[in-house]
Amino acid sequence: MNKLSILILLFLTSSISAQVADIELSASFEFQDDVIPGQVREFSLTITNNGPDSVPTPTISSGPWGTADGRLFYEFSINPAIQQDCTISFLFVSPLPGALFGGTVTSFDLPELESGESITCYGLYIANIQVGTDLMSWIAFSLGSSVNDPNLDNNTWLGGFTNRPVAVNVMNGVSLLILFVMLLLLAMYHKDLFSSGYMNRN
């Protein structure tokens, strides 16, 4: 058998043996519209296998998230209060050519996912957003296996997280100003009374 025949056979074998599975991802995060830097919040990630075949090594990943001063923009951990089949891993990524900074890739690794089965991972997160809105994304895929996904549109989740500036109570400021003016007027009034009494005694 010549080399061309071997290559054709390998291609046909891999095409026939490749599994097909539609992987779908959904997510739920606490307080996306009310982020407080440093505060720990809960979240969940659900991966569903719409079939027809199983997914041997399902994985959900996000990142890298890093800042120019070396901080993590988003920090993730597994929720120890909930028993689950997910494990979490971290991989530091150096800055790519032309990029200002790298960061950490967070991954949830799951057991084999049969057709029609769903698994939810429960975690904790910190969003270090100082002001304004920033985005977070996650992607679900089969790590290191020959699974063909016919629909890649439902493999990702993208959400916005907002740190709203604390509103200043205008009435408090106005009240303090009015109180200051009243005290100033009262002091001037007592000063006038003292001056008038002193002059009358003389």
pLDDT at 81: 97
Q: What is the pLDDT of residue 176?
A: 63
Indicate whether 136 and 106 sit together in one domain: yes
Record the pTM.
Answer: 0.71
pLDDT tens sequence for the chain (202 residues): 444 443 344 444 444 457 899 999 999 999 999 888 889 999 999 999 999 999 999 999 998 776 555 556 789 999 999 999 999 999 988 766 665 566 789 999 999 999 999 999 999 999 888 778 888 999 999 987 779 999 999 999 999 999 877 555 555 556 666 666 677 766 665 555 445 554 455 5
Kindly state whether residues 85 and 134 are assigned to the same domain: yes
CATH number of the domain enclosing 27? 2.60.40.1510
* CA gap 2, 41 in Å, rounded: 60
Range of the domain at 177: 169-202
Residue 191 lies in a domain: yes
Please tell me whether residues 45 and 113 are part of one structural domain.
Answer: yes
pLDDT the model gives residue 9:
41
**Domain check: are 77 and 157 in the same one?**
yes
Residue 43 lies in a domain: yes
What is the number of domains present in the chain?
A: 2
> Measuring CA to CA, how many Å separate 154 from each of 27, 41, 139, 150?
12, 25, 9, 10
Per-residue model confidence (pLDDT) at position 94? 76
Task: Clarify whether residues 98 and 179 are in a common domain.
Answer: no
**163 and 132 Cβ atoms separated by less than 8 Å:** yes
pLDDT confidence of residue 173: 59
